[in-house]
Amino acid sequence: MATGSTALTKFAGFREQFVIPDGVIYLDGNSLGVLPKAAIAAVRRTVEEEWGQGLIRSWNTADWVNAPRRCGDKIARLIGADAGEVIACDSTSLNLFKALVTALQLQSLRPDAAGRNVIVSDIDNFPTDLYIAQGLQALLAERKLELRFVERHELDATLVDVWARTAVVMLTQVDYRSGERYDMAATTRLVQSHGALMLWDLAHSTCAFPVALNACNADLAVGCTYKYVNAGPGAPAFVFAAQRHLATLDAAAVPAPIAGWFAHEAPFAFDPTFRVTRGIERFTVGTPPILQFAALEAALDLWLTADMAVVREASLALTTRFITEVEEQCAGMGLTLATPREAALRGSQVSFRHAEGYAIMQALIARGVIGDFRAPDILRFGFTPLYVTEADVAAAASHLRDVMQLREYERAEFRARSKVT
């Protein structure tokens, strides 16, 4: 295994494949990744040649129609899944809705699953995930679904009284605020040992470190591609379903979670009666956004040339160095580490708490060090080794020290809240 410094040298050539503005240290890839140069060329080709010249013929001649499955199979290689288990489509929220519906459908097919009406999540999960569960509960009021939101480290103890009624546990592998990482294998085993299904949100996992869905026997998963994958704002998300579950759904002819055009077994037969297709395509809904898929596929092709194990080594080297630099240079300035110090317990971000977190981050951004803020007091810094260097880390820590020493965060322009933080 490569050491951290050795791992970082392996990505020296990757940085040149991204558009990084002069004077910017970009530590926000955990929120929106930078622009791959290959994506520019891919979108231009799609616009000028495939759309401009091929017109509607490109659904066939440029294989637009198969973009969701083609990109899904490429994503599968990055998250430890097999071809045919992942489809790229829609948003993470919509895919989470579909995955939750599917989990309930799968449970309804089990002879011993009567009464399993509880959906469990982490109280600190990304709020949208909780909103989707709440919306599903309201939509299926006749099912009398029950939601249990538990503390992150008290999953097993808190659920003693409801494990027998739990249908699905929905967790984000890496906490969006702190960067703390669940042990996917151990958590999945725990959940499944009680007869529940395990649904993972991989928003802060995909292309941040090696993910092993099938090795961990995961049931369902969703994720996005605009963060570490670098596929751009509004890029298609994805959904994973284990082949064993797809086979069960197909055998029982279970309805699609959303009966959309592209989930029909013969969409161009224009049959007024919906008939669900087989396999992972059951999760598709409508016409895929082809320009976004062009950028996504270019980003995926770039990632497939990287060794994710080496990415992880480099990520840990960067995050460890940043923690050390900040704690040394900013000692006594009120910054508190919110991210686990133990490497195995964190993703690829580092978070610090400070009562003036928002204003501090705005002051940093004004200096060209771009991270982001999460309420109530979290400064987040994301590290993507493909384009972040050790020099970036050292410089960012020095800028943070200067912001704190000079009290730049007290300036009025840094205290005015923008709509997006």
Which one of the listed residues 227, 282, 321, 367 is annotated catalytic? 227
Residue showing tokens 């495939």: 50
Residue 204 CB neighbour total at 10 angstroms: 25
- Greatest CA separation found in the chain? 69
Distance from C-alpha of 1 to C-alpha of 5, rounded to nearest angstrom? 12
N residues, the chain: 421
Which one of the listed residues 14, 26, 182, 226 is annotated catalytic? 226
Residue showing tokens 């395990």: 198
Q: Please, which contacts does 11-19 make with residues 24 or more away whose CB atoms are closer than 8 Å? A: 11/306, 11/310, 11/311, 11/314, 11/385, 11/386, 11/387, 14/302, 14/306, 14/386, 14/387, 15/386, 15/387, 15/389, 17/302, 17/386, 18/230, 18/386, 18/387
Residue 146, CA atoms < 13 Å, CB-side half-sphere = 13
Instruction: Identify whether 201 is a catalytic site residue.
Output: yes
User: Which 8-state DSSP code applies to residue 219?
Assistant: -
Question: Rg of the chain over CA atoms, in angstroms?
Answer: 22
Q: Which two tokens stand for residue 119?
A: 């959906």
Which one of the listed residues 352, 380, 401, 409 is annotated catalytic? 380
Q: What are phi and psi of 398, to 5 degrees?
A: -65, -40
Which one of the listed residues 126, 240, 352, 373 is annotated catalytic? 126
Instruction: Identify whether 227 is a catalytic site residue.
Output: yes
Which one of the listed residues 122, 175, 201, 392 is annotated catalytic? 201
Q: Is 346 helix (H, G, I), strand (E, B) or coil?
A: strand
Instruction: Identify whether 380 is a catalytic site residue.
Output: yes
For residue 79, give the nearest of 234, 191, 200 by alpha carbon. 200
Query: What residues are paired with 352 via a beta bridge?
Result: 337, 379
Q: What are phi and psi of 223, to 5 degrees?
A: -170, 170
Q: Which two tokens stand for residue 383?
A: 């590290």
Distance from C-alpha of 258 to C-alpha of 95, rounded to nearest angstrom? 10
User: Which 8-state DSSP code applies to residue 167?
Assistant: E
The alpha carbon torsion through 225, 22, 412, 361 (nearest 10 deg) reads 40
Distance from C-alpha of 105 to C-alpha of 33, rounded to nearest angstrom? 35
Q: Is 227 helix (H, G, I), strand (E, B) or coil?
A: coil
Catalytically active residues are: 126, 201, 226-227, 380
